[in-house]
Amino acid sequence: MEVQETRIQTDRVLTIPNILSMARLVGVPVFLWLVLSPVFDGPDLDGWALLVLAASGVSDYLDGKLARRWNQISALGRILDPAADRLYILSTLVGLTWREILPWWLTALLVARELMLLVTVWRLDRHGYAPPQVNFLGKAATFNLMYAFPLLLLSDGSGWLASLAAIFGWAFAGWGTGLYWWAGILYVVQVRRLLTTDHPTAD
């Protein structure tokens, strides 16, 4: 992720990209309920949880692509898109950690990165800067994690398919976590340089 300006092309709220992002946000509690159903002695709904997660990944790809192609980049969209990404990652971390599919240390590592970004965005806001557009590196990290989570959920079973899902799931989780922190650290460094240049006395 890097600090960069992206021209706002529309003030409309009900654009197709924004509706896709809103739908992804609505799917967050649905996904969490589906994945936690076995924890509370409910039926195994992992298949439906995987379907919701796959749909969120498709919409994540489409909302940005359509916004650029149809000149519908909006201020609301710049907030909704990364918010939906982070909420899906957080809800998946909660669900998979609760079910002991993910180890607590990996969850803590990813949550720590999010807290670091929240503090950095807060500093930007204090100095009058809007949240930056997510760039390729940040998107690549998110896509790796979005591939990892359904595969790890699928690995919570038996047979050759579960074993194969575990191998590829942990590979994507490792790459995604590494890229996630790399993008976060670059973002913090760039924000610090920006604030130092524009506000030499900034803390």
- The topology (CATH level 3) of 16-198 is Four Helix Bundle (Hemerythrin (Met), subunit A) (1.20.120)
HSE (side-chain half, CA atoms, 13 Å) at 184: 20
Q: Provide the residue ranges of all domains of the chain, joining segments of one domain with +.
A: 16-198
- Rounded to two decimals, the pTM is 0.71
Given the structure tokens 């100095």, which residue do they identify? 127
Buried b (16+ CB within 10 A) or exposed e, 59-90: bbeebbeebeeeebbbebbbebbbebbebbbb
pLDDT tens for residues 56-88? Answer: 878 877 777 777 777 777 777 777 777 887 888
Whole-number Å distance between alpha carbons of 126 and 115: 17
Amino acid at site 68? R
Whole-number Å distance between alpha carbons of 90 and 132: 20
Whole-number Å distance between alpha carbons of 158 and 37: 19
pLDDT tens for residues 90-120? Answer: 888 899 999 889 999 999 999 898 888 888 8
